[in-house]
Amino acid sequence: MMQTEQLDALLAALQQPFHPQKISWKPRSVSKDGTRALALAYADLRVYQNRLDEVCGLEWAVTYTPWGERVICHLTINGITRSSTGEADSPAENAAASGLPVGTTAEAQAFKRACSTFGLGRYLYAMPAVWVDYDARTRSFTAQAQAKLKEIVVQHYRRVSADDPAGDAADELLVQLWQQFEEMGRALYGDRWTEVSRHNVERVTEGATDDPEELTAAQLETLIAGMEQVKRNRESGSSAKQSANVAA
């Protein structure tokens, strides 16, 4: 069994908020006209698992017990076991939130709830649900809504993150670069941005990943510089075209 001081330190590390890049939003309810949706914040199951690996190493384990239509997750950390339940509500919604096949979403929900009993991810339950603009055609939040939601996460992260000036400065720089990367990309490529983004990420990481959330500050700066050049080229081409029209 861990000493009290060690346990307190472990729980404090688990309770730290996830990096803003790891937080996503899902629509919980959609207005009748399909133009607004109630956004709820969540983190992928792997984000929880990675935090446990970082903080606890091999000193954590999980088991599941069926309970009617529900599942009970038993999470053990350094010999301490806490449990919680999960159930499958909307299969599509749960699959999106967990990153897992529909058949395992009840386990994912139970796992996240069990994590919250140790403080891990608990703050997400206190994040405000926000009504924002929604595109029913693409079943996604609008670009303006996504920017608003990201700002909510960033502000919360800055407010509750650990008192580590050097770490906070590095994290804040990464957040700012990531926001700039997303905003510039959506402005340049519109609906194609997701596809273009993943292609560029794969290129700059030499095939290591296509996930923008895994980029370093240096890699983000490289991609931002490239997009700034694309923007200048477009503006230059537009100016040349306008001059040609005037001359004609």
Tell whether 212 is covered by a domain: yes
What proportion of the chain, given as a percentage, has pLDDT over 90? 42
Tell whether 29 is covered by a domain: no
Alpha helices in the chain (DSSP H): 4-15, 45-56, 91-98, 105-116, 123-126, 143-160, 165-189, 193-204, 217-247
What pLDDT band is residue 33 in, cutting at 50, 70 and 90? very high
Tell whether 90 is covered by a domain: no
In the chain, the number of structural domains is: 1
Question: Could you give the CA distance from residue 196 to residue 167 in angstroms, rounded to a whole number?
Answer: 30
Which pTM was predicted?
A: 0.66
Give the pLDDT score at 30: 93
**Residue among 112, 181, 123 nearest 150 (CA):** 181
Give the pLDDT score at 248: 46
**Cβ-contact 124, 51 below 8 angstroms:** no
Query: Tokens 């919980």 sit at which residue?
Result: 28
Residue 105 has pLDDT above 60, yes or no: yes
Tell whether 14 is covered by a domain: no
Tell whether 148 is covered by a domain: no
Tell whether 191 is covered by a domain: yes
**Cβ-contact 42, 115 below 8 angstroms:** no
Give residue-wise pLDDT tens across range 115-127.
Answer: 999 999 999 988 8
- When mean pLDDT is compared across 4-18, 72-86, 129-143, 162-176, the lowest value belongs to 162-176
Give the pLDDT score at 246: 44
Tell whether 225 is covered by a domain: yes
Domain that holds residue 218: 161-236
**Cβ-contact 73, 85 below 8 angstroms:** yes
- Quote the mean pLDDT of the chain: 83
Tell whether 204 is covered by a domain: yes
